Chain A
Amino acid sequence: MRWLAAALVAVLLALPAFPSVFGSYAVTVFTLIFFYGFLGQAWNVVGGYAGQLSAGHAAFLGVGAYTAALLSAEAGVTPWLGMFAGGALAAVLGAVVGFLGFRFGLRGFYFVLLTVALSEICRIIAANTEAVGGALGYYITFTGNPRQFQFQDTRAYYYIALALMVAATGLVAWLERRRFGVYLAAIRDDEAACEAAGVDTFRYKMLAMLLSSFLTGVGGTFYAFYLFSLQPNTVFGVPLSVEIIIRPIVGGAGTVLGPVVGSFILSPLAELSRHYFAQGGWHGAHLIVYGALLVTVVLFLPEGAYPRLARALRRRAAPTA
């Protein structure tokens, strides 16, 4: 496995250099890969490791996005600070979701439903609140001012997204070996056995949810100042939640590199199918690909692409295992 780690490091070192080599379209694709990799990693904490399937993570993104956008436009607060406010508010929402779900003992399907319901409630509220632009959405005027988290050069977004993804991945890798990570993995397997072994399952699920929603909220700021327009139906919608969760699931939920691998597989796929289908005048068809992929993964690759890959590579390296 030594050479695999070396290869990873090599790629990691090479990535910052890409923008100089590639054209702007490739830069955009990679930016999206990194950004969704970051979001997927954030979800991974609570959805992959702790096994609490949240299908409403878009709500955290939305809250973070709107908060940073509003603070910047109305109060002149730079998004570099605003992102933490956005993250904090998203974490508050996460605390609410977590509290409601975990205190009332909602597991599995019921929990999924709760997260969907709550994120839809957020969406409807946002779409009906004129102060934040209502159903038409909120627009951010483009100034290109880096202090306002806006950049003329799209390559800046590339680096920021890359930094976010690497930081989140590093954080998850670090947590995995510590008590937090071990507890979460155990909680995913069997909560009652955890309690019997002295694990405060409620506390750790809440912590996971807080971390996950905070990070997602921070991502919201990036989203807001990358796309410059926030539509409640998009930003709080279930399709976006699906985008967030499908990468870690396909890549391997509950693993460090799963969300990253998943994002590298899915973002290019999404772009390709978007283009291919859009040419025929078909919209949203890339979601069919998502759906089919989800079905395939569940049936044939339940632990995700990355663990499978890792096992295959390990077998190659040590055939006498």
Chain B
Amino acid sequence: MSLLEARGLSKHFGGVQAVAALDLDVAEGEVVGLIGPNGAGKTTVFNLLSGFLAPDAGEIRFRGRSVLGWKPHAICALGLARTFQIVRPFPRLTVLDNVLVGALGRHPDAGEARARARRVVDRLGLGGKASSLAAGLTLAERKRVELARALATEPALLLLDEVMAGLNPTEIATLVGLIRDIHAGGVSILLIEHNMRAVMALSNRIVVLNFGERVAEGPPAAVASHPKVIEAYLGEDDVHAAPAR
């Protein structure tokens, strides 16, 4: 069953066409990887899907409803959660309160929401840091806080924007496990990632973007050897076939 359908999505900034007539689908239960060189328009797609930007043209349907022109919080209420490329937890709030903000969207009663937030915090291994301020945490921990907050909104679809960026191999491995776990729990995932290993490991299907257009799509193995994909990445230093030591 199709969870997310984007048709003919276009967005330009000044003279630059960031996204050009893009079609994108995510079916229920899928993990879809969105890859492409820097500047290919991936984060712009996320901003369009989550309501932070209005497309110049195109249609977005989420869970069967058109969410074009909806404010981000309404889209989130419908079941679409996202993280940000540059991680944004609430710095002056504790880990628990960070996640609480997400939970309150589903459970208006603060006591109930706190209990649920607590569970999410523990599930993501942040139990020990629940009362710490988000500002004082390591990058990996802050990413998990943001992830926990998104999870607390009980999404059907989770948009992850380069969650692996800046993490060391151990942290990446842990995060990959967590994402697998989240997916197993029934959440569909659309992830932007430069870390090829992670993308290959997690995705059912990969969509490749270049200059705002889809240039390839398919299962990981097929995409990896697709000539257009190799051409898009030629010269790119970001392609991590193996983790950098």
Contact = CB atoms under 8 A, between A and B. Distances in A.
Interface SS majority for chain A: helix
B88 A199 contact: no
B90 A190 contact: yes
A190 B101 contact: no
B105 A197 contact: yes
A186 interface: yes
B55 interface: no
A183 interface: yes
A195 B105 contact: no
B73 interface: yes
A177 interface: yes
Contact of B113 (A179, A186, A195): A179
Nearest to B89: A193
A197 B110 contact: no
A29 B48 CA distance: 57
B90 A189 contact: yes
Interface residues of B, number: 36
Interface string B41-65: 0000000001110000000000000
A199 B105 contact: yes
A199 B91 CA distance: 17
A200 interface: yes
Nearest to A204: B73
A252 to B, nearest CB: 13
B84 A196 contact: yes
Interface in B95-114: 97-98, 100-102, 104-106, 108-110, 113
A198 B100 contact: no
B73 A195 contact: yes
Interface string A181-219: 011011011101111111111000000000000000000
A197 B102 contact: yes
A190 B113 contact: no
Given A182-B104, A182-B110, A197 B81 contact: yes
A200 B73 contact: yes
B118 interface: no
Contact of A186 (B90, B110, B152): B90
B104 A183 contact: yes
A103 interface: no
A185 B93 contact: yes
Contacts of A190: 88, 90-91
Interface in B143-164: 146, 149-150, 152-153
Contacts of A182: 97, 100-101, 104, 110
B115 interface: no
B72 interface: yes
Contact of B101 (A177, A178, A197, A200): A197
> Which of B50, B81, B84, B88 has most chain A Cβ within 10 Å?
B88
Nearest to B152: A197
Contacts of B110: 177-179, 182
B73 A198 contact: yes
Query: 9 tightest CB-CB pairs across the interface, nearest first?
Result: A198-B105, A198-B76, A195-B72, A189-B90, A193-B88, A197-B102, A186-B101, A179-B104, A200-B73
Given A185-B93, A185-B97, 15 more contacts: A179-B113, A182-B97, A182-B100, A183-B101, A190-B90, A190-B91, A192-B88, A193-B90, A195-B73, A195-B76, A196-B81, A197-B101, A197-B149, A197-B150, A197-B153
28 contacts: A178-B110, A179-B113, A182-B100, A186-B90, A186-B98, A189-B93, A190-B88, A190-B90, A190-B91, A192-B88, A193-B88, A193-B149, A194-B73, A195-B73, A196-B50, A196-B52, A196-B73, A196-B76, A196-B81, A196-B82, A196-B84, A197-B73, A197-B102, A197-B152, A199-B101, A199-B105, A200-B71, A200-B74
